Amino acid sequence: MIDTHIHADARSSEDFKEMYLSGIDCAITCSYYPYKIDAENILLNHLNRILEYDTLRASQYGLDLKVALGIHPTNSIENPQMIFDEMYNWIENKQIVAIGEIGLEDLTETEIDIFKKQLDIADETNSKVIIHTPRKKKLEVLKVILDIVPQHLDESQAVIDHVNQEVIGEVIDRNYMLGITVQPQKLDVDGAIDILDNFGFDNFLLNSDMSNKPSDHLSVAKTIRELSRLGYKKSSIDKISHRNASDYFKI
């Protein structure tokens, strides 16, 4: 199994051990810091911590931790050029599997400018991006995201993450990969399975988005086991369990 979106820097090593023992072999950790960061060098230091330290922590418990790095909208800063410059190095050195998570939260001018620039970097380097959609005003913000992305990047290179029943109609007929987040206060196992029932397994990734907020680090494993218990085809379960993610991110 692959958990396609976590925040390893916010979790204990014991969580990695339990994930591995539950059958999760690989996870993608994304950038996000829950407090305001004003200085670009401090943000860069945090991103490098994810890349160098958290991957090591996870590996000690058997979890293969892949990395996506970028400027989360919550961490939008006034002078992001240092981060942009480093992105090119991470991509060239094949240290990251995607730019992420990026996106919009409050629709500020700074957020939008940084989002557009990261999409341009992805286009220039032929990279994938993982795009955050917020809890608040999800539909409103998503519509802005969907207007911006095609102006900068081919839709097939982007994951629209944290989709739910409220917004699925906006994206299901487009060329995005879609992330289903099974997490308290977002979507439960039954809700995730409802989406898969209605729209199929081909264009979805599954994740826990475990972070400093209420999370279930085993939600991916629980969803996969429930699909198995309910008698879904193994070929379908394999897609959402790992195959879609492996093919999309080439991991």
Q: What is the DSSP string of 111-159?
A: HHHHHHHHHHHHHHHT--EEEE--STTHHHHHHHHHHHGGGTS-GGGEE
Q: Which pair of structure tokens corresponds to residue 223?
A: 């969803």
Record the pTM: 0.97
Share of the chain above pLDDT 90, in %: 94
Residue 11's CATH number: 3.20.20.140
Cα 20 from Cα 163, distance rounded (Å): 26
Q: What is the pLDDT of residue 33?
A: 87
pLDDT under 70: residue ranges of the chain: none
DSSP SS3 for 25:
coil
Report the candidate in 172, 138, 178, 173 with the shortest Cα–Cα distance to residue 158: 178
Cα 26 from Cα 251, distance rounded (Å): 9
Q: What is the pLDDT of residue 135?
A: 87
Q: What is the pLDDT of residue 35?
A: 77
DSSP SS3 for 29:
strand
Q: Are 224 and 198 a contacting pair, CB within 8 Å?
A: no
Please state the length of the chain.
251
Q: What is the pLDDT of residue 39?
A: 87
Q: Which residues are 102's β-sheet partners?
A: 131
**b (16+ CB within 10 A) / e for 213-239:** eebbbbbbbbbbbebeeeebeeeebeb
Q: What is the pLDDT of residue 186?
A: 85
Q: How many domains does the chain have?
A: 1
What residue has token string 């919550």? 74
**Structural domain boundaries, residue 206:** 2-249
Judge if the upstream peptide bond of residue 140 is cis by omega within 30 degrees of 0: no
